[in-house]
């Protein structure tokens, strides 16, 4: 009886295991987290890509669009890559811009935050500009004008879209990297709740003509852009020394110099995430062979770069054009390629059994850990700020903190004044020099809160 059950269990486990996919390696794919699924779309693995090669990719729909099931624990040696139900039948592969023409940009959104938006590029005018995938019922839809009002957004796999807390996708227009040239900077703002889109031009238009950059949304609704390459194919000069902040609340830009002793070298094909504390940006860079460093942290409270403490077994092969997401306690890096001798892609990380997915436990900012085990129930750090916090909540929180600070400050001053009068009378000293008193703690708190609030209010724009 017992043995029979064990056998059954083993059989079930084998079936479950055999459902896992073994996807191809790739670069410039999209990875989108919705609920407990990390969806991977597209990408390519041949440097001399052609229509023929791409049609071979498209013969296996489950290798073009699939997900990593992050609802259960796993080891990166046995990744739970999973097929999407009815994907073979439903995935409208012919309706996506080809990778050869620049591919698509993808992010989540929709009224229920359950939909993935695929933004096609400008090359094939017969294709729907936007495709949507409802992750709840696996249905696909195409959006054409007039379903999309305003401007038609243009995506590509070298551009990084960001969805804000209100379902708006922000996507740099960048430049066209295949002819005809019809893109020249600006920012697409695509509201996924009503499919309206606007292309906004701005004063940093020339600074933001870049691809393969990284973009990170801060809890106050500001997106931090860094790195990337220009239309000359070269890395943006000082791409990490000078970062660009886009404020999604009033749609304005500002440039921001950074400092610190651990600034990444100019690079593209990097990825970044926001740390669980809500103010550190963690960058995974490709300089493995150059200085054996790959992790860089930007503290956005003072825009200082520093080298984090990292333990665990780090990856040994260079990778670029990967993607990164925060899932639970982990920064989850997917795929990417090393640079081969010459200009070929080099996926030799697989030859040495390095996983397609790299896990960095970022729960403790004073010590990040490379790990091979994903635990969905890993304890979250207590100081983590809520990722859903809207900018108004954020500002209100600050206002409350200012009020509390002021109240305590005033109370403190009253206490100290009373105390000084008391001491004055008691000791019957002739003169009381104010400067002999230590500056009260509460007074300091008021000051730092006001500093934070003036920074957060954007008054320095």
Ligand X SMILES: *[C@@H]1O[C@H](CO)[C@@H](O)[C@H](O)[C@H]1NC(C)=O
Q: What is the DSSP string of 234-276?
A: SBPTTTTTEEEEEETTTTEEEEEE-EES-PPPS-SS-EEEE-T
Q: Nearer Cβ to ligand X, position 381 or 458? A: 458
Q: Nearer Cβ to ligand X, position 174 or 190? A: 190
- Position 420 contacts ligand X (CB under 6 A): no
* CA trace torsion 205, 211, 216, 217 (10° rounding): 50
Residue whose beta carbon is closest to ligand X: 340
Q: Nearer Cβ to ligand X, position 287 or 420? A: 287
User: Which span sits near ligand X by CB under 6 A: 98-106, 199-207, 215-223, 261-269?
Assistant: 215-223
CA distance 68 to 35: 11
Q: How far is the CB of 266 from ligand X (least distance, A)?
A: 14
- Position 272 contacts ligand X (CB under 6 A): no
Listed residue (353, 327, 347) closest to 335, CA to CA: 347
Number of residues that bind ligand X (CB under 6 A): 56
Are 223 and 208 within 8 A, CB to CB? no
Given 257, 292, 343, 382, the residue binding ligand X (CB under 6 A): 257
Q: How far is the CB of 361 from ligand X (least distance, A)?
A: 14
Partners of 346 in the β-ladder: 338
Within 8 A by CB and 6+ apart from 269, the residues are 27, 212, 286, 320, 321, 322, 336
Number of neighbouring beta carbons within 10 Å of residue 91: 21
Restricted to residues 305-364, the positions that interact with ligand X (CB under 6 A) are 306, 308-309, 317, 338, 340-341, 344, 346, 348, 351
CA distance 129 to 126: 9
Q: Nearer Cβ to ligand X, position 178 or 309? A: 309
Q: Give how far Cα 35 sits from Cα of 38, 39, 116, 207, 357, Å.
A: 8, 10, 12, 35, 18
Given 216, 300, 323, 398, the residue binding ligand X (CB under 6 A): 300
Given 388, 433, 435, 436, the residue binding ligand X (CB under 6 A): 388
Restricted to residues 72-131, the positions that interact with ligand X (CB under 6 A) are 92, 95, 108, 110-115, 126, 128
Q: Where are the alpha helices (DSSP H) in 113-183?
A: none
Given 83, 327, 404, 456, the residue binding ligand X (CB under 6 A): 456
Environment class of residue 235 by beta-carbon count within 10 Å: exposed (0-12), middle (13-18) or buried (19+)? buried
Joined together, the tokens standing for residue 91 give 């995935």
- Position 385 contacts ligand X (CB under 6 A): no
Interface residues with ligand X (CB under 6 A)? 33-34, 92, 95, 108, 110-115, 126, 128, 134, 136-137, 140-143, 147, 149, 165, 191, 193-194, 196, 218, 220, 222, 245, 247, 249, 257, 299-302, 304, 306, 308-309, 317, 338, 340-341, 344, 346, 348, 351, 366, 387-388, 455-456, 458
């Amino acid at each position: 009886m017992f043995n029979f059950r064990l056998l059954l269990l083993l059989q079930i486990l084998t079936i479950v295991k055999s459902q896992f996919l073994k996807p191809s390696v790739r670069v410039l794919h999209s990875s989108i987290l919705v609920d407990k699924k990390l969806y991977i779309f597209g990408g390519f693995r041949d440097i001399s890509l052609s229509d023929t090669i791409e049609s071979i990719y498209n013969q296996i729909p489950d290798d073009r669009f699939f997900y990593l099931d992050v609802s259960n624990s796993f080891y990166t040696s046995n990744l739970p890559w999973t097929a999407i139900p009815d994907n073979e039948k439903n995935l409208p592969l012919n309706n996506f811009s080809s990778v050869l023409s620049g591919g698509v940009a993808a992010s989540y959104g929709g009224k229920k935050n359950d939909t993935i938006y695929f933004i096609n590029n400008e090359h094939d005018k017969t294709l729907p500009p936007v495709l949507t995938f409802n992750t709840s019922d696996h249905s696909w839809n195409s959006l054409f004008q007039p379903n999309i009002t305003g401007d038609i957004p243009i995506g590509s796999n070298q551009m990084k879209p960001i969805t804000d807390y209100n379902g708006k996708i922000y996507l740099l227009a960048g430049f066209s990297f295949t002819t005809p040239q019809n893109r020249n900077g600006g920012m697409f703002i695509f509201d996924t709740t009503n499919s309206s889109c606007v292309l906004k031009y701005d004063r940093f238009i020339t600074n933001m003509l870049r691809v393969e950059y990284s973009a990170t949304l801060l809890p106050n609704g500001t997106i931090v852009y860094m790195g990337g390459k220009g239309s000359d194919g070269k890395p943006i000069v000082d791409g990490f020394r000078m970062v660009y902040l886009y404020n999604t609340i009033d749609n304005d830009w500002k440039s921001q110099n950074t400092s610190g002793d651990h600034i990444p070298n100019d690079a593209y094909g990097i990825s970044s995430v926001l740390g669980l504390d809500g103010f550190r940006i963690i960058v995974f860079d490709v300089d493995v062979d150059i200085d054996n460093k790959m992790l860089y942290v930007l503290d956005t409270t003072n825009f200082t770069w520093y080298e984090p403490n990292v333990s665990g077994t780090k990856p040994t092969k260079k990778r670029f054009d990967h993607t990164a997401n925060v899932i639970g306690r982990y920064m989850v890096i997917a795929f990417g390629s090393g640079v081969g001798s010459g200009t070929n892609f080099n996926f030799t990380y697989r030859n040495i059994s390095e996983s397609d997915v790299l896990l960095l436990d970022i729960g403790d900012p004073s010590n990040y850990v490379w790990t091979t085990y994903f635990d969905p129930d890993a304890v979250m750090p207590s100081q983590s700020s809520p990722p859903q916090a809207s900018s108004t909540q954020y500002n209100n929180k600050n206002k409350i903190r200012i009020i509390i600070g002021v109240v305590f400050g005033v109370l403190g001053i009253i206490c100290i004044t009373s105390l000084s009068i008391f001491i004055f009378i008691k000791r019957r000293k002739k003169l009381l020099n104010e400067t002999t008193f230590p500056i009260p703690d509460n007074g300091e708190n008021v000051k730092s809160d006001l500093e934070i609030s003036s920074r957060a209010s954007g008054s320095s724009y």
